[in-house]
Chains A and B, each alone.
Chain A
Amino acid sequence: MERLSYGHDTDAPLGGDRADAIHGVVASGNLEVLMERVLPAGRCEVEIATPLSGYEEVWAAVVSDFVERVQPGGVRVSINDGGAQPDTVMLRLLQAARLMEGGR
């Protein structure tokens, strides 16, 4: 199991007031994303546990794309990966952030 961890400063806090949200399932080619509003408003941290090693650069790129696009300040993101493709990872991150913002 490879454990990766990234920290980013953000320009803005993530909208909405939901304290936490979870989306996705740990299944083959899928992942679960847990978001918790526990950090200072200008900070986002992402922790990943993945059974596939050797994809650190891809994870770093997806995470920094997500942070730049969404500005998820104040949120700690925890991921249990089941071997998802980068596009699936981005989709789940966006869906979880939408839940945090009050969407369904």
Chain B
Amino acid sequence: MSRDAASWYESTARARIGDLLDDGAFTEFLPPGERATSPHLALFDLPEAFDDGIVVGRGRLDGRDVFVAAQEGRFMGGAFGEVHGAKLVGLLRAAFEIRPAAVLILFDTGGVRLQEANAGETAIAEIMRAICEARIAGVPVIGVVGGRAGAFGGGGLIAGTCSGLVATEQGRIGVSGPEVIETNHGVEEFDARDRALVWRTTGGKHRALTGGADAFAEDAAAELRSAALGLMDAAAPFDAGTLRAEHDRLAGRLERFGSAQDAPEIWRDLGVTEDVPALDTAEFGAVLDRIGGRHGAR
């Protein structure tokens, strides 16, 4: 299989970077040989990863200088620990100084790593601040959501601060994940084992329809590459006007859809009569265009 067609969902963090960026252009910061591993996992007798589950570095995307961070969703659910978070904070702060054409965050995370929760929560706050500072400096921060773990918990919050998000059908975005909602509110509120429910409420199509993701792409590296490039060019200036417009959009969305019981109600209200889960990428793209779903807010 060519790297352009490689499934993002099935891939690893390192392979995704190789498939996304221009050939041979990637330089890793804190590579595995540096052994920047978690200082906490050994206390719990848990295995470490040499990169603490995130690969950060610098490369080129269509010839443009970009910084990139890729989370490994298969190592501890891609969760943010102290070192994992610090690597992303450092990358974003370096972007503020060096001003690359963009920072790309390839999300694949369930949120904060519970074994190092305080450090992880702190990292989430520092990352959101660093994203805002990079955006104020004119560096777009683009999120790609298409991995097994999605972008949940603190990862969902970070995704919400990006200049733009591209999601695949498999990519899910949220704060409380399905199992957390079920645990706290009961199976009648949300059945985490109902995969159709999980995907139609947190998946990429629903997020694209309701403005939770700015672009929708097929589960293939080439499609995500061109979507990310499009979002880099479309990034709005990060100023009071943009924020006010985004707050107004979110308030309007809550008012319009806040009482809906399930996603299809919202789709019908948006004038989407098609069977959304059955649509292929081209058909779904036509629906997005028809309802003006490519809103470009934030």
Looking at chain A's contact residues, the main secondary structure is strand
Chain A contact residues, CB within 8 Å of chain B: 1, 20, 22, 25-27, 30, 32, 34, 36, 49-51, 78, 80-82
B233 interface residue (CB < 8 Å to A) = no
Q: Give me 18 other A-B pairs in contact (C-beta within 8 A), A20-B33, A30-B74 excluded.
A: A1-B47, A20-B32, A22-B32, A22-B51, A25-B49, A25-B75, A26-B47, A26-B48, A26-B49, A26-B74, A26-B75, A27-B74, A34-B33, A51-B46, A78-B50, A80-B48, A80-B50, A82-B47
Contact of B42 with A1 in the complex, beta carbons under 8 Å: yes
> Once the chains are docked, how many angstroms separate the CA of A78 from the CA of B37?
13
Contact of A32 with B45 in the complex, beta carbons under 8 Å: no
Chain B contact residues, CB within 8 Å of chain A: 12, 14, 31-33, 42, 45-51, 72, 74-75
Contact of B32 with A25 in the complex, beta carbons under 8 Å: no
**Which one, B12, B33, B48, B75, contacts A49 given CB within 8 A?**
B48
Looking at chain B's contact residues, the main secondary structure is loop
Contact of B50 with A32 in the complex, beta carbons under 8 Å: yes
Residue of A nearest to B45 (CB): A1
- Inside 8 A of B42's CB, which chain A residues have their CB? 1
Contact of B50 with A51 in the complex, beta carbons under 8 Å: no
- Inside 8 A of A80's CB, which chain B residues have their CB? 47-50
Residue of B nearest to A22 (CB): B32
- Inside 8 A of B50's CB, which chain A residues have their CB? 22, 32, 34, 78, 80
- Inside 8 A of A50's CB, which chain B residues have their CB? 47
> Once the chains are docked, how many angstroms separate the CA of A46 from the CA of B260?
58
**Shortest CB–CB separation between residue B202 and chain A, in angstroms?**
22
- Inside 8 A of B31's CB, which chain A residues have their CB? 20
**Which one, B33, B48, B72, contacts A25 given CB within 8 A?**
B72
- Inside 8 A of A22's CB, which chain B residues have their CB? 14, 32, 50-51
> Once the chains are docked, how many angstroms separate the CA of A80 from the CA of B72?
15
- Inside 8 A of A25's CB, which chain B residues have their CB? 12, 49, 72, 74-75
- Inside 8 A of A1's CB, which chain B residues have their CB? 42, 45-47
